[in-house]
Amino acid sequence: MKNVLFLFFLGSSLLILNGCDKDTSSPSQNNDPCESIVCYNGGYCVNGECLCPEGYTGPDCSQQVTPTKIRITKIEVTDFPATDENGAGWDLISGADIYPVILKGSDVVWTSSRYFEDASPSSSYSFTNGLPFDVTSPQDRYSIVLYDFDTIDADDFMGGITFTPYSNTNGFPSTRNLSVGDFSLKLYLNYVW
């Protein structure tokens, strides 16, 4: 009887061992919920969901959030026409005395508090006085107009650029170059959500 029990036990063990050999299930694996998650624009995955940085949203952080304000912190005039449309200089015996103005539609919403005297078209001029200017409707049309300051006559219009401060596809650039004809400028921007 002892032998029979022993043989039975041995046989059972062999069956179990044999069964184990046939078990092809993989060893226990760590299921990382972030394994197949991609987060764009500096977002990162926590527990299978993207945490997005300020300004981005959506399941993969690929959508921009429209800012409540865009701040223009500096206007750098990088080029302007050397003469008016008739080929005449901006002033009789000296260079243009330049200053920019911001318009929303046809309304003046900001005017530079200083001008550069006898400016040269080939030089760059940075305007920071009275800035930042807050663009509160970033999807509307704004213009930046350059004037030559004159003491007796009305100031001369030198050029204007119309633009939309916000684009939902450009990734919040910190600078924007705008140009129309010989009038070029660079805007320095901050975004507020």
Q: Which residues bind Ca ion (CB under 5 A)?
A: 90-91, 94, 97, 118, 148, 150, 156
Going through 48-180 in order, the beta strands assigned E by DSSP cover: 49-51, 56-57, 63-64, 69-79, 96-104, 107-111, 116-119, 125-127, 133-135, 142-148, 156-163, 175-180
Would you tell me how many other CB atoms lie within 10 Å of the CB of residue 183? 20
DSSP 34: T
What minimum distance in Å lies between the beta carbon of 84 and Ca ion? 9
Which of these, 47, 49, 52, 79, lies nearest to 63 by C-alpha position? 52
Longest dimension (CA), the chain: 128
What minimum distance in Å lies between the beta carbon of 149 and Ca ion? 8
What minimum distance in Å lies between the beta carbon of 88 and Ca ion? 9
Nearer to Ca ion, 52 or 97 (CB): 97
Nearer to Ca ion, 75 or 97 (CB): 97
Closest residue by beta carbon to Ca ion: 94
What minimum distance in Å lies between the beta carbon of 148 and Ca ion? 4
Nearer to Ca ion, 94 or 128 (CB): 94
Strand partners, 147: 99, 157
Nearer to Ca ion, 37 or 82 (CB): 82
